[in-house]
Structure 1
Amino acid sequence: MKSDWKKYIGPGPLIAAAFIGPGTVTVCTLAGVKFGYDLLWALGLSIIATIVLQEMSARIGLITQKGLAAVISQTLKKGLLRYFSLFLILLAIVLGNAAYEAGNITGGAMGADLLVNLPVLTLGQLELNLLNLSIGLIALILLMSGSYSKIAGFLTLLVIMMSLAFLASAIWVQPSVISIFEGFIPKIDATNILTIVALIGTTVVPYNLFLHSSLVAKRWTKMEDLKYVRVDTMVAVVLGGLVSMAIIITSASGAAMDVNNAADLAIGLEPIMGVAAKYFIAFGLFAAGITSAITAPLAGSLVVVDCFGWSNDIRKMPMRISIIFILGLGLFFSSMGIKPVQLITFAQLANGILLPLLSAYILWLVNKKSVMKSHQNNLWLNVLGTGIWLITFLLGGMSVSKVMGWI
Structure 2
Amino acid sequence: MAQQEQQEQYKARWRLIGPGIVVAATGVGSGDLVASLVAGERFGYTLLWAVVVGCIVKIALAEAVGRWHLASGQSIFDGWRGMGVWTFVFFGPYILLWGFVYGATAMSASALPLQALFPAVPLWVFAILAGLSGLAFVWFNRYPALERVMTVLIGILFVTVVGLAIFLLPDLGSLAAGLVPTTPPDSLFYTLGLIGGVGGTITMAAYGFWVNAKGWHDAGWIRMMRLDNRVAYITTGVFVVAMLIVGAELLNSAQIALTEGDEGLVQLADVLQERFGTFISVVFLIGFFAAAYSSLLGVWHGVSLMFADFVGKIRGHTERPVEERESSWAFRAFLLWLTFPSMLLLLFDRPITLVIVYGVLGAAFMPFLAFTLMWLLNTRRTPAPWRSGIVSNIGLAIAGGLFLVLCANEIYSQLTGV
Task: Give the structure-1-normalised TM-score.
Answer: 0.89
Determine the structure 2 residue equivalent to 1:47.
55
C-alpha contact (below 8 Å) 1:58/1:212 kept by paired residues: yes
Determine the structure 2 residue equivalent to 1:228.
224
d(CA) in 1 for partners of 2:340, 2:223: 38
Go from structure 1 to structure 2 and tell me whether the alpha carbon gap of 1:141 and 1:65 turns closer, same or farther (over 3 Å shift): farther
Determine the structure 1 residue equivalent to 2:332.
320
Q: Could you report, residue by residue, the CA deviation over 1:376-403 in whole angstroms, capped at 9, with x for unpaired residues? A: 1112322232222222221222222222
Aligned residue type for 1:330 = S
Determine the structure 2 residue equivalent to 1:289.
292
d(CA) in 2 for partners of 1:87, 1:141: 31
Aligned-partner SS, 1:369: coil
d(CA) in 1 for partners of 2:342, 2:292: 13
Aligned-partner SS, 1:259: coil
Q: Could you report, residue by residue, the CA deviation over 1:305-362 in whole angstroms, capped at 9, with x for unpaired residues? A: 22232655212222111111123233332332559xx998865432211211221101
Question: Which of the numbers 217, 242, 245 marks the counterpart of 1:246?
Answer: 242
Unaligned runs of 5+ in 2: 1-7
Cα offset, 1:271, TM superposition: 5.2
Question: Which of the numbers 396, 401, 404 marks the counterpart of 2:412?
Answer: 401
Q: Could you report, residue by residue, the CA deviation over 1:93-122 in whole angstroms, capped at 9, with x for unpaired residues? A: 3322432332222112111122123533xx
Correspondence list, 1:244-323, <5 A:
244-254=240-250, 255=254, 257-260=256-259, 261-270=264-273, 272-308=275-311, 309=313, 313-323=325-335
d(CA) in 1 for partners of 2:295, 2:170: 29
Determine the structure 2 residue equivalent to 1:79.
none
Determine the structure 2 residue equivalent to 1:108.
110
Aligned residue type for 2:335 = I
Determine what percentage of the aligned residue pairs are the same residue: 20
C-alpha contact (below 8 Å) 2:132/2:339 kept by paired residues: no
Determine the structure 2 residue equivalent to 1:56.
64
Go from structure 1 to structure 2 and tell me whether the alpha carbon gap of 1:256 and 1:18 turns closer, same or farther (over 3 Å shift): farther
C-alpha contact (below 8 Å) 1:251/1:265 kept by paired residues: no
Aligned residue type for 1:217 = N
Determine the structure 1 residue equivalent to 2:375.
364
Aligned-partner SS, 2:326: coil
Go from structure 1 to structure 2 and tell me whether the alpha carbon gap of 1:131 and 1:107 turns closer, same or farther (over 3 Å shift): same
Give the paired residue count. 393
Correspondence list, 1:2-401, <5 A:
4-5=12-13, 8-73=16-81, 75-76=82-83, 82-120=84-122, 129-203=124-198, 205-219=200-214, 220-254=216-250, 255=254, 257-260=256-259, 261-270=264-273, 272-308=275-311, 309=313, 313-338=325-350, 347-401=358-412
Between 51-60 and 373-382, report the one with greater CA deviation. Answer: 373-382
C-alpha contact (below 8 Å) 1:50/1:204 kept by paired residues: yes
Cα offset, 1:178, TM superposition: 0.5
d(CA) in 1 for partners of 2:354, 2:240: 21
Cα offset, 1:172, TM superposition: 0.6
Cα offset, 1:373, TM superposition: 4.3
Aligned-partner SS, 2:202: helix
Cα offset, 1:193, TM superposition: 2.2
Cα offset, 1:192, TM superposition: 1.5
Between 1-10 and 312-321, report the one with greater CA deviation. Answer: 1-10
C-alpha contact (below 8 Å) 2:28/2:236 kept by paired residues: yes
Aligned residue type for 1:31 = A
C-alpha contact (below 8 Å) 1:61/1:67 kept by paired residues: yes
C-alpha contact (below 8 Å) 1:28/1:244 kept by paired residues: yes
d(CA) in 2 for partners of 1:406, 1:345: 10
d(CA) in 2 for partners of 1:192, 1:347: 24
Between 305-314 and 8-17, report the one with greater CA deviation. Answer: 305-314
Aligned-partner SS, 1:371: coil
Cα offset, 1:215, TM superposition: 1.6
Unaligned runs of 5+ in 1: 77-81, 121-127
d(CA) in 2 for partners of 1:285, 1:98: 23
